Amino acid sequence: MTPKTVAKKNDIQKLQRAIVDGLEAVKAQDIVVFDTEHLSALFERVIVASGTSNRQTKALSASVVDAVRDAGFNKPRVEGEGNGEWIIVDCGQAVVHVMQPNIRQYYHLEELWGEKPVRLKLGAAKPAVAATAKAAKEPKPVTKAALPSLKRASAAKKGVEEAFPSKAQLKKKADIAAAAAKKVTPRVAASATAKTPAKSAVKAATKQAIKVVGKPTSKPPVKRTTPTGVRSKPAAKKVASRKA
């Protein structure tokens, strides 16, 4: 297999995958893919799908056009959008037939092009959508540039909550205060009861000592005498002056 053939095969697989994803995005029914390379030189794939109403068939064809363009291919040509019963989307290497069930049953294109059905894994677009939704739900990492705005938002939220507390917040604060009161009150009562007997015992002992000994008096005056019992010289001079 030459490189050119490999590239061509990859292109057709990519194209048919884009077409099927576009059909599944709008919930097309009974999607089938046929290999028509041996039957026609104009296209290599024929894809048939059903839509339950004119509105759905038009939406299916529009979805296929968008999916093919997003995959990097040329914009397909569309025919039959007027009545919406049978819309043909020409994607170059592949042709898509979007039909309502009664029209599809009447013309039965599977008998004409269905000699080589292509096995294609359907529902491949759903995991991709689910992964995208999951990635959107996951929290984004916080950068340094976003920290100031996050702090301001957190402070503003806290200020609003403090100024206008909800019933749940008020109840929570009341419960915390009640629990703290229960823990503190027994300790205070116990300390008060423990200190009261000690104080009363000290007071009673003090009163008893005063009754027995009496109140303390002031200190007695100190006599100023010399060791020999003789008065000091200034005192002797005073006595002599008195005698004269």
According to the model, what pLDDT value does residue 146 have?
52
d(CA 93, CA 36): 10
According to the model, what pLDDT value does residue 19 have?
95
According to the model, what pLDDT value does residue 131 have?
47
According to the model, what pLDDT value does residue 136 have?
44
pLDDT, tens digit only, all 244 positions of the chain: 566 666 777 788 999 999 999 999 999 999 999 999 888 888 899 999 999 999 999 999 999 999 999 999 999 999 998 889 999 999 999 999 999 999 999 999 988 888 888 887 666 544 444 444 454 445 455 555 555 555 566 665 566 556 656 666 677 778 888 877 776 555 555 555 555 555 566 566 666 656 655 555 555 555 555 555 445 555 555 555 555 5
Q: Is residue 44 domain-resident?
A: yes
Q: Is residue 236 domain-resident?
A: no
CATH number at residue 49: 3.30.460.10
Examine the domain organization and report whether 123 and 49 are in the same domain.
yes
End-to-end CA distance of the chain: 162
Q: Is residue 142 domain-resident?
A: no
Q: In which domain, by residue range, is 83 found? A: 3-133
Q: Is residue 71 domain-resident?
A: yes
Q: Is residue 244 domain-resident?
A: no
According to the model, what pLDDT value does residue 223 have?
54
Q: Is residue 233 domain-resident?
A: no
Examine the domain organization and report whether 14 and 127 are in the same domain.
yes
Q: Is residue 79 domain-resident?
A: yes
Domain boundary among 92, 115, 133: 133
Q: Is residue 118 domain-resident?
A: yes
According to the model, what pLDDT value does residue 15 have?
93
According to the model, what pLDDT value does residue 128 have?
43
Number of domains in the chain: 2
Examine the domain organization and report whether 75 and 193 are in the same domain.
no
